[in-house]
Structure 1
Amino acid sequence: MPQLLSAKEQSLFRTVVRNYEDKQYKKGIKAADQILKKNPKHGDTLAMKALIMNSQGKTDEAFALAKVALQCDMKSHVCWHVYGLLYRAVKNFEEAIKAYKFALRLEPDSQQIQRDLALLQVQMRDYQGYLVSRKAMLTARSGMRQNWTALAVAHHLIGDFAEAEGVLTTYEETLKNPPAKTDFENSEAVMYKNTLIAEQGNYQKALDHLESAGKHNLDRLAVLELRATYLAKLGRKDQAEKAYRALIDRNSEHKEYYDDLIEVMGIASTDHKAMKAIYDEYAEKYPRCDAARRLPLNFLEGDEFRDVAEKYIHRMLDKGVPSTFANLKHLYASSSKKETLPALVRQYIDSGKSEANEEPKRHGDTSKGASAAYYFLAQHYSYHLSRDLDKAMEYIDKAIELEPESVDFYMTKARIWKHYGNTQKASETMEHARTLDTRDRHINTKTAKYQLRNNETEAAIKTMGLFTRAETPGGPLADLHDMQCVWYLTEDGQSHVRQGHIGLALKRFTAIYNIFDVWQEDQFDFHSFSLRKGQIRAYIDMIKWEDRLREHPFYSRAALSAIEVYLKMHDKPITNGANGTADVNGEDAAERKRAAKKARKEAQKAEREALAKKNEPNKSTKEGDNDPKKKDDDPDGAKLAATTEPINDAMKFLTPLLQFSPKSIDAQLAGFEVYIRRKKYILALRCLLAAAGLDREHSKVHQQIIRFKLAVDKDLETLAPQVAEVIKSEFNLLPASVSLTQYNDEYLSKNKDCARRTLAALSARKLLSPESSPNFEKDAMATLKLPGTTFEEAKEGLELLLSWNSGQVDAFRSSAAEKWPKATIFASPSA
Structure 2
Amino acid sequence: MAPPPSPQPLGSKERSLFTQVVKNYENKQYKKGLKAADQILRKSPDHGDTIAMKALIINSQGNTDEAFALAKVALKLSMKSHVCWHVYGLLYRSAKNFEEAIKAYKFALRLEPESQQIQKDLALLQIQMRDYQGYVQSRRAILQQRTSWRQNWTALAIAQHLAGDLVDAERTLTTFEETLKGVPPKTDIEHAEAVLYKNSIIAEMGETERALEHLDAAAKNNPDRTSVMELRAKYLLTLGRKEEAAKAYRVLLARNPEYRAYFEGLQSALEIEKSDVKASKDLYSDYAKQNPRGDAARRIPLDFLEGDDFREAADQYLQHMLHKGIPSTFANIKALYPDTAKKDAILQLVEGYAVGKARPLANGSAEKQSNGDKDLFEPSVRYFLAQHYNYHLSRDLNKAMKYIDEAIESAPESVDYHMTKARIWKHYGAAKKAAEMMEMARTLDARDRYINTKAAKYHLRNNDNEAAIQNMSKFTRNEAHGGPLGDLHDMQCVWYITEDGESYLRQGKLGLALKRLTSISSIFEIWQEDQFDFHSFSLRKGQIRAYIEMVRWEDSLREHPFFSRAAISAAEIYVKLYDQPNLAHGSLSNGVNGDKMDSAERKKAEKKARKEREKQEKAEAEKKDGKKAAVDQNGEPKKEDKDPKGGLLLQTSEPLVEAMKFINPLLEFSPRNIQAQQAGFEVFIRRKKFLLALRTLVASHALSPSNPITHEQIFRFQQTLSKLSEPLPPKAMEVINAEFHTLLPASTDLAKHNNEFLRQHHDSASHVQACLKVRQLIDPSTTEKNQQDVIRTLALEGSSLEDAVRGLELLEEGKADPKYKNDYLAAAHERWPEASAFEKKAD
TM-score, normalization by structure 1: 0.95
Indicate yes or no: 2:326 matched with 1:321.
yes
The letter of the residue matching 2:800 is: T
Partner of 1:620: none
**What is the CA–CA distance in structure 2 between the aligned matches of 1:385 and 1:261, rounded to whole Å?**
33
Distance 1:820 1:8 in 2: 84
Cα deviation, residue 140, structure 1: 0.8
2:795 is matched with which residue: 756, 778, 785? 785
Amino acid corresponding to residue 671 of structure 1 in structure 2: G
For residues 132-531 of structure 1, the aligned pairs below 5 Å read 132-351=137-356, 353=358, 367-531=375-539
How far is the alpha carbon of 1:458 from its aligned partner?
0.8
Question: 1:618 matched to which residue of 2?
Answer: none
Q: CA 1:108/1:332 → structure 2, altered by over 3 Å: closer, same or farther?
A: same
**1 or 2 for the larger relative contact order (CA 8 Å, sep ≥6)?**
1
Match of 2:654 in 1: 645
Q: Distance in 1 between matches of 2:314 and 2:36?
A: 79
Query: For residues 601 and 218 of structure 1, what CA distance do their matches in structure 2 show?
Result: 62
Q: CA deviation at 1:176?
A: 1.2
Deviation at 1:736, TM superposition (A): 4.1
Q: Encode CA deviations 1:177-196: one digit per residue, 9 max, x unaligned.
A: 22111100000000000000
**1:70 counterpart (59, 72, 75):** 75
Cα gap change, 1:495 to 1:57, in 2 (>3 Å): same
Q: Which amino acid aligns with 2:564?
A: S
Alpha-carbon distance, 1:578 to partner: 6.3
Comparing 629-638 with 820-829, greater Cα deviation is found at 820-829
Contact 1:461 1:476 in 2 (8 A): yes
| Secondary structure at 1:33 match in 2 | helix
* CA spacing shift, 1:533–1:466, aligned 2, 3 Å: same
Q: Distance in 2 between matches of 1:545 and 1:258?
A: 27
Q: Secondary structure at the match of 2:581?
A: coil
Residues in 1 aligned to 2:373 and 2:647: alpha-carbon distance in whole angstroms = 54
Alignment of 1:714-729 (within 5 A): 714-715=723-724, 717-729=726-738
Alpha carbons 1:493, 1:504 under 8 Å: kept: yes
Distance in structure 2 (CA, Å) of the matches to 1:150 and 1:318? 56
Q: In the alignment, does 2:143 pair up with 1:123? A: no
Any conservation in 1 of the 2:677–2:699 contact (CA below 8 Å)?
yes
CA shift in 2, pair 1:599/1:754, >3 Å: farther
Q: 2:49 aligns with which of 44, 50, 56?
A: 44
Q: Residues 527-578 of structure 1: CA distance to partner in whole angstroms, max 9, x if unpaired?
A: 0111111111011000000000000001011111111111122222234346
Match of 2:696 in 1: 687
Aligned residue in 1 for 2:747: 737
Mean Cα displacement is larger for which, 701-710 or 20-29?
Answer: 20-29
CA deviation string 1:230-257 (max 9, x = no partner): 1011110100010111111111100111
Structure 1 residues 483 and 664: alpha-carbon distance in aligned structure 2, compared to 1, 3 A threshold:
same
Instruction: For 2:588 and 2:137, locate their aligned partners in 1 and report how far apart those are by CA, in whole Å.
Output: 51
Residue 809 (structure 1) aligned to one of 810, 816, 821 = 821
The equivalent of 1:561 in structure 2 is: 569
Distance 2:82 2:638 in 1: 33
Instruction: Write the distance in 1 (CA, Å) between the matches of 2:396 and 2:375.
Output: 25
Judge conservation of contact 1:81–1:113 (CA < 8 Å) in 2: yes
**Which consecutive residues of structure 1, in runs of 5 or more, have no partner in the other structure?**
615-623
Structure 2 CA distance for aligned equivalents of residues 453 and 600 of structure 1: 32
* Conserved 8 A contact 1:185-1:533: yes
The one-letter amino acid of 1:246's match is: V
Deviation track 1:96-144 (CA, whole Å, cap 9, x = no partner) reads: 1111100000000001110111011100111111111011111111111
Range that drifts further, 348-357 or 522-531:
348-357
Distance 2:428 2:286 in 1: 45
2:836 paired residue number: 824
Partner of 2:770: 760
Shift of 1:353: 5.0
Query: Which residue type is aligned with residue 53 of structure 1?
Result: I
Q: Deviations over 1:468-510 (max 9, x none)?
A: 0122121100000000111111111111111111000000000
Go from structure 1 to structure 2 and tell me whether the alpha carbon gap of 1:572 and 1:598 turns closer, same or farther (over 3 Å shift): same
Is the 2:323–2:373 Cα contact (8 Å) retained in structure 1?
A: no
Which residue of structure 2 aligns with residue 700 of structure 1?
709
2:599 maps to which residue?
Answer: none
Query: Residue 702 of structure 1 contacts residue 760 of structure 1 at CA under 8 Å; is this kept in 2?
Result: yes
Partners of 2:586 and 2:609 within 8 A in 1:
no
Is 1:669 the counterpart of 2:714 in the alignment?
Answer: no
Measured on the aligned residues, the alpha-carbon RMSD in Å equals 2.0
- Equivalent pairs, count: 817
Q: Give the Cα–Cα distance (whole angstroms) in 2 for the partners of residues 578 and 354 of structure 1.
A: 66
Change (3 A) 1:194 1:22: same
- The farther-off stretch of 789-798 and 624-633 is 624-633
1:107 to 105, 112, 117: 112
Q: Which amino acid in 1 is paired with 2:175?
A: T
Which secondary structure state, in structure 2, belongs to the residue aligned with residue 413 of structure 1? helix
Judged with a 3 Å threshold, the aligned counterparts in structure 2 of structure 1 residues 82 and 205 are, in CA distance, closer, same or farther, namely same
**Inter-partner Cα distance in structure 2 for 1:162 and 1:65:** 47
Q: Distance in 1 between matches of 2:608 and 2:352?
A: 60
In 1, Cα distance between equivalents of 2:519 and 2:834: 35
What residue ranges of structure 2 are gaps of 5+ in the alignment? 361-365, 593-601
Shift of residue 292, structure 1, vs aligned partner: 0.4
3-state SS of the aligned residue for 1:368? Answer: helix
State the distance in 1 between where 2:444 and 2:608 align: 39
Identity score, percent: 57
Does structure 2 retain, via aligned residues, the 8 Å contact 1:758–1:783?
Answer: yes
2:16 is aligned with 1:11: yes
* Alignment-mate amino acid for residue 704 of structure 1: Q
Partner of 1:621: none
- The SS at the match of 1:408 is helix
Q: Distance in 2 between matches of 1:770 and 1:32?
A: 74
Distance 1:203 1:680 in 2: 50
1:19–1:27 contact (8 Å) kept in structure 2: yes
- Greater mean deviation of Cα atoms: 712-721 or 179-188: 712-721
Alpha-carbon distance between aligned partners in 1 of 2:841 and 2:462, rounded to the nearest angstrom: 15
Whether contact under 8 Å (1:319, 1:359) holds in the other structure is no
In the superposition, relative to structure 1, how do residues 791 and 632 fare at CA in structure 2: closer, same or farther (>3 Å)? same
How much does 1:58 deviate? 2.1
Q: Is the 8 A contact 1:353 1:369 kept in 2?
A: no
Native 8 Å contact 1:676 1:708 kept in 2? yes
Q: Against the structure 1 CA distance between its residues 214 and 579, is the aligned structure 2 distance closer, same or farther, given a 3 Å change threshold? A: farther
- The secondary structure found in structure 2 opposite 1:610 is coil
Taking the aligned partners of 1:46 and 1:798, their CA distance within structure 2 comes to: 64
Q: 1:560-600 CA deviation, whole Å, 9 max, x = no partner?
A: 11111111222222343469626464876666556555655
Counterpart CA distance in 2 for 1:280 and 1:174 is: 53
Tell me which amino acid in the other structure corresponds to 2:760: K
Conserved? CA contact 1:111–1:137, under 8 Å: yes
Match status 1:776 vs 2:796: no
Task: Give the TM-score taking structure 2 as reference length.
Answer: 0.94
Partner of 2:760: 750
Is 1:603–1:632's contact at 8 Å kept on the other side of the alignment?
no
